[in-house]
Structures are given as structure tokens and as C-alpha cells.
Structure 1
Amino acid sequence: MAIDESRTFAPINIAILTVSDTRTAADDTSGDILAARVKDAGHHLAARTIVKDDAALLATQFNNWIDDSQIDAIVSTGGTGLTGRDVTPEALSRIDGGRDIPGFGELFRWLSFKTIGTSTVQSRACAIVARGTYIFALPGSNGAVRDGWDGILAEQLDNRNRPCNFVELMPRLKEK
């Protein structure tokens, strides 16, 4: 990462969604890791919740946050595996106007390979931009959250990152 120190850091508003049938606020360690990293980076934690592995419920939560002008980006953790209950990518496919960011999942799996080897092929980590809001879907493990935030999102959600970053595109995301 090349930080342009002549630019002033611009915090954004980030919501965190944990996708799980079993986790609670008391034991949501991956959500805790994300919340700490969001705040430590200087961003605002705009919202945080846990939603069951149900594509309709997830799509509703995503849409509610997309329509909230106080949320710039959503980072979810969980529901990106291969089992029948893992439906986060399917929920994202229900978002009207969502456009894939294929490089996110590709880069995530490349970074994850360095940590967990070929097991990374079981990840369906993905990202979209919808109606001006970024949504990044990470696996639910603590290691995956660290890989995704530390290896991708910390840089791309920092407007000082050069040569480019997601933040500087935000004013243009709703262009037609």
C-alpha cells in the first residue's frame, strides 16, 4: 500500500453483519474483530447486527442498509461456504442493481491460500456495489476476517491509498 500522506484521511460509515444461526452478540468473535478494525482504522461503525442464514432475511437487511444514507459500506461475515445453509452470495444476488466486484473474491482467495492452502477453494467470498453502497461478504472464521480486512479492505477503504481506492469512487457510484 502506498499512502499519500498529503491527503487527509476520510472516514466512512461501515455496517457489520454477522450471518449465523448460532452466534450471539456474546460470542460473535469475527464480528468483534471487524468492529475493532473498523474503529482502529478511524472509520465509523454505523450499525452491527446478526441475521440467521436465510437468503430472504439477509437480502432485507442488506437492502435496508443500502437505503440508509448513513451507511457507505457493509462488511458481512459468514454464510459464504458450500453447505446448504450458506446463502450470503444468494442473498446478494437478490439485491436490485447489484454489480459484482469479481476481483474482491479472487484476491481474497489468493490471500487466504497463503494462510489455509487449498482449503480456500471452499470460500465463496464476494463483493458487490449496489445503489451506491459497497457490500463485502467474508467467510465467518476469525482468520478469514483478518485476511479480508487486513489484506484488502484496510487499504481499499482508505482514501489515501494510491494508486486508487474504493472511497474515491463513492461520489460516482450512482452514475448512469
Structure 2
Amino acid sequence: MHNINPETRVSRPLNIAVLTVSDTRTLENDTSGHALVELAQEAGHHCTAHQIVKDDIYQIRATVSGWIADPNIHAIISTGGTGFAGRDSTPEAMSVLFDKTIEGFGELFRATSFTEIGTSTIQSRALAGLANHTVIFCLPGSTGACRTGWQIIQPQLDASHRPCNFVAHLLPVQACDSRG
């Protein structure tokens, strides 16, 4: 783990679950999932779950539905299954679970990714939404894409980010004051 700079840590740590969607990854070789866990922890958040599921709509939904129902999980970040390969099914699995879709996330991810991978970014189906006071971000499976996505996600999971962030939508009302 890298040295943590206390000046870059969030003012209100959140509980984050990381899901890797893959038919081939294991906990030992899941570089993307490990990168997301590390980035979240470096920012001061708690990684309360890290799981790998096969690229199967129903396995993805079952895992994520359990996390959405858990009031102690505030954010879910998934990696993998957002492309166009035959079994890529993360968007189909996740989008039906959203109470609200965060349209701007996929748009901003692809715009940011364009500077890194050019027009290949159109093959990313990155998406995000809110469900039961839980924010869900779905990223492509590459470690580079996870780092790119974190650049967008991290400020939105920080209660001090202005002019707005998602923290007030995720924590119980009594946990947020006028600064959140």
C-alpha cells in the first residue's frame, strides 16, 4: 500500500463494495479490483467487500442486490463486463436495479477516456446509478479504465467537493450536516 497523504483523505469515509465481473479473474490476479480497493482506501474510504462473480446477469444482480439492501454499504464500484463481447452483461444486469440513472457518468467517462484510448472509448458502456441510497459505478475491466474512472468517482464521494457530491444522498440524514 502507498503512503496515504492525510490532506487528500475524505472528510466522511464511506463504505465501498468492489465487484469484479469476470469469467477468468481470481482474487490473486484481479488487478482492476485490487486497484479500486487501494484507491478507495488511499482516499480514506473503507472497502467493506470485494468479490468476483462470473459475467452472468443473475449472479451480478444477486450480489449487487444484496449490497444495495445493506444500509452499511454506501457505494458499489464494479469493473468488467461493460464491453461488447458475447458475455459482457454488466449494463443489462445493473441498469434495472437503478432507481435513478446518472447519465453524466458514462458521458464523462467516455470523454475522459477519449484522450487516453481515442475512438475505442465508444465501445465502453460505463454507467452509473442510484439505488436505495447506494451509488453504483460500473467501469470497464482494465486497470487503466478503473484509474480513469476513479478520477471522476473520487470527488463525488467526498463530502467536501463543491458545488455538489453524492455523499448527502448516501448517508442517513442525521449523518449529514449543511456542509455535506
Q: TM (normalized to structure 2)?
A: 0.88
Q: Which residue is 2:176 aligned to? A: none
Preserved CA contact (<8 Å) 1:59 1:94: no
Q: Secondary structure at the match of 2:62?
A: helix
RMSD: 1.6
Letter in 1 for 2:155: E
CA distance in 2, matches of 1:74, 1:155: 15
Which of 14, 20, 45 aligns to 1:12? It is 14
Verify: 1:107 aligned to 2:108, yes or no. Answer: yes
Q: Secondary structure at the match of 2:105?
A: helix
Alignment of 1:146-157 (within 5 A): 146-150=147-151, 152-157=152-157
CA distance in 1, matches of 2:109, 2:132: 23
Q: Which residue is 2:124 aligned to? A: 123
CA distance in 2, matches of 1:127, 1:102: 7
Letter in 2 for 1:117: G
Unaligned runs of 5+ in 2: 1-6, 174-180
Q: Which residue is 1:92 aligned to? A: 94
Q: Secondary structure at the match of 2:84?
A: coil
Verify: 1:132 aligned to 2:133, yes or no. Answer: yes
Verify: 1:162 aligned to 2:162, yes or no. Answer: yes
Q: Which runs of 4+ in 1 moved over 6 A?
A: none
Unaligned runs of 5+ in 1: none
Structure 1 residues 57 and 167, CA gap change in structure 2 (3 angstroms):
same
CA distance in 2, matches of 1:122, 1:172: 37
Letter in 2 for 1:134: V
CA drift of 1:170 comes to 2.4
CA distance in 2, matches of 1:98, 1:52: 24
CA drift of 1:83 comes to 1.4
Q: Which residue is 1:76 aligned to? A: 78
Q: Which residue is 1:59 aligned to? A: 61
Preserved CA contact (<8 Å) 1:30 1:145: yes
Preserved CA contact (<8 Å) 1:92 1:98: no
1:30-69 CA distance string (max 9 Å, x none): 0111010010000000101000000011011110000111
CA distance in 1, matches of 2:150, 2:107: 15
Q: Secondary structure at the match of 1:57?
A: helix
Q: TM (normalized to structure 1)?
A: 0.90
**Identity among equivalent pairs (%):** 55
Task: Identify which of structures 1 and 2 has the higher relative contact order when contacts are C-alpha pairs closer than 8 Å and 6+ apart.
Answer: 1
